[in-house]
Amino acid sequence: MKIIVEPMALNWDQAQAFAKYKGGRLPSPAEIQQIARHRPITVDVWCNEENPEAPETAKSWSRRYQAVKGKEKNKLCLMLYLVNT
C-alpha cells in the first residue's frame, strides 16, 4: 500500500476525480491512521517540477520547513490518496 501526498489547489470533488485518474482513491483521516498502525506503508511526495523552489513543493509541507505564507496556504491543500502496490 502506498500513500501519495501531493500539494495542490483542489476542492473535494476535483481531488476525488484526480485520485481516480491516477489509479487511487482518497482515504479518510481515520483510514490513514488505521493503515499506518496495522500495515507497512510507503509515502511518496510529489513536487511542482516546473518550479521546485515554489512554496507548493513537498519540502514546504514538512515540519522542518514552515515558511509557507498565509496567502499560499489558502490556495493549496495536501492531497492524500491510496494506491495498491
Q: What is the pLDDT of residues 24-83, one digit of tens each?
A: 777 765 666 676 676 665 555 444 445 555 544 444 444 333 343 444 444 455 666 666
Cell 513536487 sits at which residue? Answer: 47
CA distance readout (Å), 80 to 17, 83? 13, 10
Question: How far is 44 from 41, CA to CA, in rounded Å?
Answer: 10
pLDDT of residue 47: 46
pLDDT in tens, 4-14: 766 666 666 77
pLDDT of residue 41: 56
User: Model-level pTM greater than 0.85?
Assistant: no
pLDDT of residue 21: 83
Residues 7, 75 contacting (CB under 8 angstroms) = no
